[in-house]
Structure formats: structure tokens, C-alpha cells
Structure 1
Amino acid sequence: MARDNSRSYSDHSHRICRKPIAQRQSHIASQLYPVTKIRKNLGRQANTFLKKWGQTDCN
């Protein structure tokens, strides 16, 4: 039982890490701020972040 729990937990954390942080932040921000101007700025920041760091892992 304990082994199954730990395995599912590690799988879950892996799934979270697969998505780039900036992408997730911009997605959350777009939901929080419906103002298009702010949304564009956040999207631009996320794009520059992704270009700079590439697809970031959990490191």
C-alpha cells in the first residue's frame, strides 16, 4: 500500500513539472486579470522566459 502511494505521488509531481512554469503562471494570470492589455504583457513575459530558458524541467 505505502509503495503504491509513493509511486502515484511521484507520478503526480512529474506531471506537474512537465508543463513549463511560465506557461502555467500566464494561464493563471489570464484567468485572474481579464484586462487584455495586462494579459498581452504577461504573455510576452512568458514567451521571453520560455525562449531564454527553453522547456524548463524541475531542476
Structure 2
Amino acid sequence: MIILKAAVIAALRARGQHARAEFVDRELPDRIDTVRHGGLLATLHLDPASLAEPSQA
């Protein structure tokens, strides 16, 4: 599954985790492959399914 980096950043900022959002913005591509980056998403306590665009879910 592919999710947009903007969705991850928005979720982190909504939780007040601005430093983590900046890290994601610097380190990850605009389209995040959940298989390749699943470990990082788990570390950030993010559910890829909740961040996916409706057409990809």
C-alpha cells in the first residue's frame, strides 16, 4: 500500500509531534511504501490503513 507523506505529517502534527513530522518530511519520499517503511510507521504509532486514500484502502 502507498500512502502520502503529507498524510503522515498531518497526523503527527495533529498529535503535537512536530519534531517527528519534520523528520518524516526530511527522510521519506512523497509516496511512502508501507511495506518498505512499515517499521517506521509502527514506531510512530501510525496505522497505514487509516492514512490511505479512500481509493487505495
TM-score by length of 1: 0.32
Higher relative contact order (CA 8 A, sep 6+): 2
Q: Which has the higher helix share?
A: 1
Larger radius of gyration: 1
Q: Which has the higher strand share?
A: 2
TM-score by length of 2: 0.33
